[in-house]
Amino acid sequence: MYKSELSVVVGGLSLEHPVMNASGILGYLPEHADIMASWGVSAIVSKTFTKEPRAGYNPPIVIKVRYYSLLNAVGLANPGIGGIRPFVERARGYGVPVVVSVGGGSIPEYVEVAGAAEDCGASAVELNLSCPNVERGGIELGRDPAQVLKVVRDVASVVRVPVVVKLGVSDRLVDSASKAVEGGARALTLINTVRGMSIDVYSFKPLLSNISGGLSGASIHPIAVWAVYTVFREVQADIIGVGGILTWRDAAELILAGAKAVQVGTALVYRGPGVVRSIVRGLRLWVRRVGARSITELPGAAHRV
């Protein structure tokens, strides 16, 4: 891989630059891989796959809300475990790491889907322990450090590829992060969406069919910065920061808080597919302006001032 001032290694994955996509916008059909690669991401992250196909919730499932944010309640719609191979095989053709997001309603399901992802050629698996839009698993599991330890340990014991754990905000975030690392996680993705809702003031009805959903975008960026900063201070782990990155400054904040890499999601809806390359350009100029030889000198720098 070509080395530059933006090259990073996070969770055992070598990246040309630190900007990948967040799981959720696209990413379970082979043609989605083509679109995602065109964004210029340094790794392709799939949407969450589960063992069985999921139809998801009825529309409306995504709405725009204030401050460059989205509310979504998709319900982890995906084609099931059988959809992993065609997606991964297409994505691998672009020469970047392919990270498969794994979900489940039970720990054995996480293990089975993660194993299938590895068998299909995934570079890493990202365990989604933080989705607020499903009734089982997801955020409930991520809030329980003992369960986090068990699922990560069980998955890490059967796959050889790096295991990344995606956690949402909770009052036990640091404990869950610590247990994820103890269980064998090579990196942590912080954070996922935050539960929210919106009501139509004329019909008096919630705008999402599921009533509540996950809030993403600029509204949650300060929460993400706090979460990364707090976990970095307490837990020795590679961190991938995600939450409200619309510009290079947002990405830089998460890096200074402790992230080695970042993920972009909602910005693709508001700013378009060119936003990834714009963020990468901005980060390159920022590294030079602050006098660093490499962006690898900057993760956690806010803790050293």
Q: Are 33 and 120 a contacting pair, CB within 8 Å?
A: no
The whole-number pLDDT of residue 57 equals: 84
User: Does 139 have pLDDT greater than 80?
Assistant: no
Instruction: Report the sign of the C-alpha dihedral through residues 177, 182, 183, 189, in that order.
Output: positive
User: Does 132 have pLDDT greater than 60?
Assistant: no
CA 121 centroid distance within chain = 19
Percentage of the chain beyond pLDDT 70 is 96
The whole-number pLDDT of residue 135 equals: 46
pLDDT band at 179 (very low <50, low <70, confident <90, very high): very high
| DSSP assignment of 98-153 | EEEEE--SSHHHHHHHHHHHHHTT-SEEEEE---TT-SSSTHHHHT-HHHHHHHHH
- Write out pLDDT tens, residues 209-238: 999 999 999 999 999 999 999 999 999 999
Domain assignment of residue 37, yes or no: yes
Domain assignment of residue 2, yes or no: no
The domain total for the chain is 1
Q: Are 138 and 193 a contacting pair, CB within 8 Å?
A: no
Q: Are 283 and 253 a contacting pair, CB within 8 Å?
A: no
The whole-number pLDDT of residue 130 equals: 77
Alpha-carbon gap, residue 58 to 47, rounded angstroms: 18
Residue 234's H or E segment, with its range, is: helix 221-234
Alpha-carbon gap, residue 106 to 82, rounded angstroms: 18
Catalytic-labelled residue, pool 45, 100, 131, 167: 131
Which of 128, 97, 100, 96 shows the shortest CA–CA distance to 27?
Answer: 100
Phi, psi of 270 (to 5 degrees): -85, -35
Domain assignment of residue 227, yes or no: yes
The whole-number pLDDT of residue 26 equals: 85
Lowest mean pLDDT among 116-120, 131-135, 191-195, 204-208: 131-135
Query: Residue 155 is part of a domain; what is its CATH number?
Result: 3.20.20.70
Domain assignment of residue 3, yes or no: no
Domain assignment of residue 55, yes or no: yes
Which region, left, alpha or beta, applies to residue 76 given φ > 0 means left and ψ of -120 to 50 means alpha? left
Token pair for 82: 């059988």
- Write out pLDDT tens, residues 257-283: 999 999 999 999 999 999 999 999 999
Mean pLDDT (whole number) for 23-41: 94
- Write out pLDDT tens, residues 107-131: 999 999 999 999 999 999 999 997 6
CB neighbour list of residue 191: distance below 8 Å, 6 or more residues apart: 130, 167, 168, 169, 220, 223, 224, 227, 242, 243
Percentage of the chain beyond pLDDT 90 is 87
Q: Are 108 and 137 a contacting pair, CB within 8 Å?
A: no
Domain boundaries, position 30: 8-304
Alpha-carbon gap, residue 82 to 168, rounded angstroms: 27
Catalytic: 120?
no
Q: Which residue has the tokens 């990468």?
A: 280
- Write out pLDDT tens, residues 232-261: 999 999 999 999 999 999 999 999 999 999
Domain assignment of residue 53, yes or no: yes
pLDDT band at 27 (very low <50, low <70, confident <90, very high): confident
CA 58 centroid distance within chain = 24
Token pair for 224: 């993400």
Cis peptide before 18 (omega within 30 of 0): no
How many CB atoms within 10 Å of residue 215?
A: 24
Question: In this structure, which amino acid lies at residue 147?
Answer: Q
The whole-number pLDDT of residue 3 equals: 65
Domain assignment of residue 125, yes or no: yes
The whole-number pLDDT of residue 2 equals: 47
Domain assignment of residue 1, yes or no: no
- Write out pLDDT tens, residues 47-79: 999 999 998 888 888 999 999 999 998 888 899
Mean pLDDT (whole number) for 168-187: 96
